């Protein structure tokens, strides 16, 4: 069981997608395609939960009973190499949970359901493969596998500007992938002399080999060029300013469930890639780039928050809030160079925890906005000046929904407060650790970054006041409160947000050992 569970986590969705075609033709059961998707992602979630319960964070990847390493393309020394550690297991849990809940949230998708749910499962497989791959070539394949499903899921099932949003997402991500490919090939070529002239994509071996690279190309240090290539590839996915412009449009046009996956999982792949590949392979460049990374983190925090304040579309507001909150992750990651070991540990722990916590909080936010949109058919906080109905231009989009939708309103308040980072909710712990780590290394920058907390309060509280408080808009007296299916998608996330806010120890214990090992690699290079 141990040796097969990681492979099952990756390829079970592929099997589910493959079964959908014959099932839809020969099994005369209503919504059979949807039920296959539910069963597939439900089993995957159960396997991920079992993996977590049996995961020993004190063991290294190579000591873990779950690691699988077999030859694949022998001529180029490419392996099927998958494993789990404290960096990857929170992301595996997050991916499995959100994939399952997003299938439930997509139950009303009736436009080409076979295409939608099969593509979603292929996307799920790609995401899981990225988090479990320990061979760079395999990692890159899964990274690219995600591109096409996401392109079609936005481009076919999205909003009015779906084609433009899908193409923009595709081109930005493909642009980054080219740089990642060049860096991967560079690592393969330049590390070969240190490995008996045999190149390798094995990430564990590359941790030993890559720091030995001492060469120049076009007058530039090769290690610096490798770092730059990897950083561009991962930064676009985060997204780091100024590579962020694809994100708000993709979120606005994507179906609700795809927005959840975009914000909850795909953004984390950028920071995960930096931690999994760039940090251990190029520790010297991490040290040189740390201050720049901290600056970019603070820019993300402030720029994302200020743009969120300016938005009148709830979905776009949450999209820019994601840009802001990923800035906390970057700031925490930069603190790895802190002279204080406890500061470095706090910042890095906070970064990984923020990846998980933001994934749950933003998923809850997008799901709740989707619930409102399904009934009201719009997401305007304030109607735009160029609205087709000029009588509505500049007026509040809703107003007073708290009296009409009490349960829904309470859940939105909970999600907004979590997004604010209030104590007793998970966002507080991870953001506080990021700031503690950041302050130990970059005091002035971190002090400036704390302004993001104030800006977050402005856009969340103002949106809540305009949509839910005051007198009820008579146009919405026919709205129904959140139903049981919608509650089922939101309540498990709310539970995790509260659990890790009150009792973060399971999450801290999960990541601490792997983070300590990563900090040691960086500190040896200092």
Query: Do residues 506 and 391 make contact, with C-beta atoms less than 8 angstroms apart?
Result: no
Which of these ranges, 174-183, 259-268, 382-391, has the smallest mean pLDDT?
Answer: 382-391
* Confidence grade of residue 220 (pLDDT, cut at 50, 70, 90): confident
Task: Return phi, psi of residue 72, to 5°.
Answer: -125, -70
Give the model's pLDDT for residue 327.
93
Which residue shows structure tokens 């007793």? 424
Which residue shows structure tokens 């139903």? 483
What is the token pair recorded at 127? 């995401």
* Confidence grade of residue 42 (pLDDT, cut at 50, 70, 90): very high
Mean pLDDT of 334-349: 89
Quote the mean pLDDT of the chain. 89
Residue 444 or 212, more confident:
444
Give the model's pLDDT for residue 82.
93
Please report whether residue 322 resides in a domain: yes
Please report whether residue 12 resides in a domain: no
The DSSP letter of residue 88 is T
The DSSP letter of residue 70 is E
| Helix %, strand %, coil % of the chain (to 5) | 75, 5, 20
Please report whether residue 513 resides in a domain: yes
* Element containing residue 504 per DSSP (H, E): none
* Model-wide pTM > 0.85: yes
* Confidence grade of residue 12 (pLDDT, cut at 50, 70, 90): very high
Mind listing the pLDDT tens digit for each residue in 56-89? 888 888 888 888 889 888 888 889 999 998 889 9
pLDDT at 387 over 80: no
Please tell me the distance from the alpha carbon of residue 38 to that of residue 355, in angstroms, as a whole number.
Answer: 25
- 503: number of Cβ within 10 Å: 11
Give the model's pLDDT for residue 317.
92
- 158: number of Cβ within 10 Å: 22
Query: Do residues 480 and 375 make contact, with C-beta atoms less than 8 angstroms apart?
Result: yes
- HEC per residue, 52-96: HHCCCCCCCCCCCCCCEEEEEEHHHCEEEEECCCCCCHHHHHHHH
- Residue 247 Cα to chain centre, angstroms: 12
Give the model's pLDDT for residue 494.
95
pLDDT at 337 over 70: yes
Residues in the chain, total? 526
pLDDT at 265 over 80: yes
pLDDT at 109 over 90: no
Query: What 3-state DSSP class applies to 272?
Result: helix
Give the model's pLDDT for residue 1.
62
Mind listing the pLDDT tens digit for each residue in 397-411? 788 888 889 999 999
Residue 524 or 353, more confident:
353
What is the token pair recorded at 324? 């802001």
Please report whether residue 375 resides in a domain: yes
* Confidence grade of residue 479 (pLDDT, cut at 50, 70, 90): confident
- Residue 12 Cα to chain centre, angstroms: 21
| Domains contained in the chain, number | 1
Give the model's pLDDT for residue 16.
92
* Element containing residue 474 per DSSP (H, E): none
pLDDT at 394 over 80: no
* Element containing residue 135 per DSSP (H, E): none
pLDDT at 26 over 90: no
- HEC per residue, 274-296: HHHHHHHHCHHHHHHHHHHHHHH
First-residue to last-residue Cα distance in the chain: 41
Residue 145, CA distances (Å) to 139, 356, 451 in order: 10, 22, 38
Residue 387 or 184, more confident:
184
Mean pLDDT of 297-316: 93
* Confidence grade of residue 55 (pLDDT, cut at 50, 70, 90): confident
* Confidence grade of residue 498 (pLDDT, cut at 50, 70, 90): very high
* Confidence grade of residue 293 (pLDDT, cut at 50, 70, 90): very high
Query: Do residues 325 and 354 make contact, with C-beta atoms less than 8 angstroms apart?
Result: yes
* Element containing residue 422 per DSSP (H, E): none
Please report whether residue 418 resides in a domain: yes
Query: What 3-state DSSP class applies to 398?
Result: coil
- HEC per residue, 205-269: HHHHHHHHCCCEECCEEHHHHHHHHHHHHHHHHCCCCCCCCHHHHHHHHCCHHHHHHHHHHHHHH
Provide the domain limits for residue 328.
284-526
Give the model's pLDDT for residue 160.
84
Please report whether residue 51 resides in a domain: no
Which of these ranges, 60-64, 463-467, 520-524, has the smallest mean pLDDT?
Answer: 60-64
Mind listing the pLDDT tens digit for each residue in 155-206? 888 888 889 888 998 899 899 999 999 999 999 888 888 777 778 889 999 9
Residues 6+ apart with CB under 8 A from 1: none
Q: Which of 52, 143, 44 is nearest to 97 (CA)?
A: 44
Please report whether residue 359 resides in a domain: yes
Give the model's pLDDT for residue 98.
95
Please report whether residue 383 resides in a domain: yes
Which of these ranges, 16-30, 146-160, 174-188, 250-264, has the smallest mean pLDDT?
Answer: 16-30
């Amino acid at each position: 069981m141990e040796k097969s569970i990681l492979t099952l986590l990756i390829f079970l969705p592929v099997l589910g997608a493959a079964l959908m075609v014959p099932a839809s033709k020969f099994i005369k059961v209503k919504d059979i395609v949807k039920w296959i998707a539910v069963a597939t992602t439900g089993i995957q979630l159960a396997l991920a939960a079992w993996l977590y319960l049996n995961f020993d964070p004190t063991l290294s990847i190579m000591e873990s009973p779950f690691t699988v390493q077999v030859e694949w393309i022998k001529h180029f020394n490419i392996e099927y190499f998958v494993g789990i550690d404290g960096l990857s297991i929170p992301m595996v849990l997050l991916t499995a949970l959100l994939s399952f809940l997003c299938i439930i949230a997509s139950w009303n998708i009736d436009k080409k359901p076979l295409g939608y749910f099969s593509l979603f499962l292929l996307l799920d497989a790609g995401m899981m493969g990225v988090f479990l791959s320990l061979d760079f070539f395999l990692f890159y394949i899964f990274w690219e596998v995600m591109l096409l499903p996401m392109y079609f899921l936005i481009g076919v099932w999205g909003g009015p500007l779906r084609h433009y949003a899908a193409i923009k997402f595709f081109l930005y991500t493909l642009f980054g992938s080219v740089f990642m490919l060049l860096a991967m090939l560079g690592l393969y070529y330049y590390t070969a002399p240190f490995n008996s002239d045999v190149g390798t994509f094995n990430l564990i071996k590359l941790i030993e080999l890559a720091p030995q690279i001492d060469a120049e190309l076009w007058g530039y240090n090769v290690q610096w060029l490798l770092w730059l290539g990897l950083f561009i590839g991962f930064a676009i996915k985060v997204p780091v300013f100024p590579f962020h412009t694809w994100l708000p449009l993709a979120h606005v046009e994507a179906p609700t469930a795809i927005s959840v996956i975009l914000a909850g999982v795909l953004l984390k792949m950028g920071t995960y890639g930096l931690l999994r590949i760039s940090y251990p392979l190029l520790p010297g460049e991490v040290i040189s780039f740390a201050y720049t990374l901290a600056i970019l983190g603070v820019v993300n925090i402030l720029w994302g928050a200020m743009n969120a304040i300016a938005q009148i579309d709830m979905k776009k507001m949450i999209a820019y809030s994601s840009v802001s909150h990923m800035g906390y992750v970057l700031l925490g990651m930069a603190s790895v160079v802190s002279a204080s070991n406890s500061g470095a540990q706090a910042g890095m722990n906070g970064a990984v925890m923020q990846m998980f916590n933001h994934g749950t909080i933003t998923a809850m936010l997008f799901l709740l906005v989707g619930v409102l949109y399904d009934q009201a058919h719009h997401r305007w906080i304030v109607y735009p000046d160029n609205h087709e109905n000029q009588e509505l231009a500049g007026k509040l989009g809703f107003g007073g929904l708290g009296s009409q939708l009490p349960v829904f309103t309470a859940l939105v308040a909970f999600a907004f407060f979590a997004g604010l980072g209030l104590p007793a909710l998970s966002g507080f712990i991870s953001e506080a650790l990021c700031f503690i780590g950041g302050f130990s290394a970059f005091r002035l920058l971190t002090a400036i970054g704390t302004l993001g907390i104030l800006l977050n309060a402005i856009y969340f509280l103002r949106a809540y006041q305009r949509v839910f408080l005051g007198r009820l808009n008579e146009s919405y007296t026919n709205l129904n409160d959140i139903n049981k299916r919608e509650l089922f998608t939101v309540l498990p996330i709310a539970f995790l947000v509260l659990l890790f806010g009150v009792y973060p120890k399971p999450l801290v214990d999960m990541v601490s050992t792997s983070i300590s090992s990563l900090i040691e690699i960086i500190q040896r290079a200092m």
